[in-house]
Amino acid sequence: MGKPTGFMEHQRQTVKQRSPGSRTADWQELQLPAPERFLQEQGARCMECGVPYCNMGQLYQGMALGCPIGNLIPEWNDLVYRGQWREALRRLQLTNNFPEFTGRVCPAPCEGSCTVGLIGEPVTIKSIEAAIVERGFAEGWIQPAPPKTRSGRTVAVVGSGPAGLSCADELNKAGHQVTVYERDDRIGGLLMYGIPNMKLDKRYVQRRVDLLAAEGIQFVTNCEVGTGVTTEELSSKHDAVVLCCGATVPRDLPIPGREASGIHFAMEYLRGNTQQLLDDSSRADFISAADKDVVIIGGGDTGTDCVATALRHGCKSVVQLEILPESPRERSADNPWPQWPKIARSDYGQEEAAHRFGSDPRDYQMMSSEFVVDENGHVAGVKAGQVRWERDADGRYTPKPVVGTDKVYAAQLVLLAMGFTGPESQAAEAVGITWTRDGYGTNQANVFVAGDMRRGQSLVVWAIDEGRQAAQACSDFLAGIR
């Protein structure tokens, strides 16, 4: 522990972002560069606890606490404080395959479990993590490191999101020859097409993909398992298969008027926007919010990304409908430290909308009941009313409509951002497998599964952990083949 009194001498500060008014004029990243002294002072706030909950990654009373991949946070915080950046990078790389991703898009459950946060503000862990890996790239410390020997075994990884890439990385480090199959035209999964550029610049995704390729991983794009490649081809080419296809089936809203044009799933909207930016051309499937009243149904991270994207398109107005009540400003009694604090927050999209239109775009405890359709069959509005959350006979909270509270929100574009129900079935059907959540194996000895496909919709950091665990299970299997 470099500075025992650091958490008393320095207040928590976060990396500064560009102002909401300036950043909505482009698609560049939000954060500004952080001075080294700033990062060292923030690292000095780490107490190096006897029991560092920040890196536990365990469940407590049904909720996750700490970092799922077990990042050695106290160690690299101290090393940054001491100015030993290269050693900090080594410690970070022991547990995290892609800190440049988690340091940008992870909600930082580690910070929610920080011991300093029990009595004050937690350490700025996420920003330090991102700074370490970027220092590594800038200094040339991160270079391709292919395995010195090969096992002679081959593995197919299906899906190139964070789970697939971390799985491929670990298997490649173990000496296996890995081929990643991706149905999209670019590698990265949700890292490439599910997260807007201002949150995760795609050059950082491509930088990592290029590094993995230089280390010997082969990538095949525009190839969907079940259609582009058959079961027989996978079985004949590879000793093992790991399915990391994500949970990509969006939750729909089957209310009257759903058939109207102008109603889209959030990922369809976000994906088209990123493709438009990367291709630098006009696409036929590009959905624009320019000069439109936009209603986004869903209050999570994806909904926030839709808010921010619509603002950059130049929307006329934007509303985000959330069926749940607003979270409290402070921890409630049933949400103790070191659990993730379920408190009210304003993310970047809400800040930008408030700057543009003068108020937070979120309306809480609102349940949509009908899409208003004009004479041309296009959506013209969303009818929604307030709900109260009450316990039913089984003790579960359910939404009850409040009579007389219905209103119509004008909308020429509606985006459904209500999460996902599970994986698409083509890949599983293509290899004829089933699985449970008890482990990473399946009913076929040489087929494994990981990521959102296995555990359900979750965080990028959980997906990385899933990929690492599945890679270990796959390597154990390959070691037993004679």
Q: Which of 200-209, 320-329, 332-341, 385-394 has the lowest mean pLDDT?
A: 332-341
Give the predicted TM-score (pTM) of the model: 0.94
Instruction: Answer whether residue 147 is part of any domain.
Output: no
Instruction: Answer whether residue 187 is part of any domain.
Output: yes
Instruction: Answer whether residue 146 is part of any domain.
Output: no
Pairing of strands 218-220, 177-181: parallel
For residue 425, give its domain range: 154-248+421-479
Indicate which CATH number applies to the domain containing 123.
Answer: 1.10.1060.10
Any idea how long the chain is?
A: 482
Give the bridge partners for 413, in sequence order: 294
Instruction: Answer whether residue 144 is part of any domain.
Output: no
Q: Indicate the residue among 366, 391, 418 that finishes a domain.
A: 418
Q: Could you read off the pLDDT of 152-172 as tens digits, one per residue?
A: 999 999 999 999 999 999 999
Q: Is 135 found in the same domain as 50?
A: yes
Q: Is 242 found in the same domain as 293?
A: no
Q: Is 204 found in the same domain as 172?
A: yes
Q: Is 376 found in the same domain as 270?
A: yes
Number of domains in the chain: 3
Q: Is 259 found in the same domain as 169?
A: no
Q: Could you read off the pLDDT of 6-48 as tens digits, one per residue?
A: 888 899 999 999 999 999 999 999 999 999 999 999 999 998 7
Q: Is 426 found in the same domain as 413?
A: no
242: nearest Cα among 472, 2, 479, 10? 472
Instruction: Answer whether residue 86 is part of any domain.
Output: yes
pLDDT of residue 215 exceeding 90, the answer is yes
The contacts of residue 9 (CB under 8 Å, 6+ apart) are 3, 44
Q: Is 401 found in the same domain as 298?
A: yes
pLDDT of residue 125 exceeding 80, the answer is yes
Indicate which CATH number applies to the domain containing 236.
Answer: 3.50.50.60
Q: Is 336 found in the same domain as 204?
A: no
Q: Could you read off the pLDDT of 312-369 as tens digits, one per residue?
A: 999 999 999 999 999 999 999 888 888 889 999 999 999 999 999 999 999 999 999 9
Q: Indicate the residue among 418, 442, 460 that finishes a domain.
A: 418
Q: Is 313 found in the same domain as 260?
A: yes
pLDDT of residue 482 exceeding 70, the answer is no
- Structural element, H or E, at residue 112: helix 109-112
CA 287/CA 441 separation, integer angstroms: 39
Amino acid 206: pLDDT: 98
Q: Indicate the residue among 399, 418, 437 that finishes a domain.
A: 418
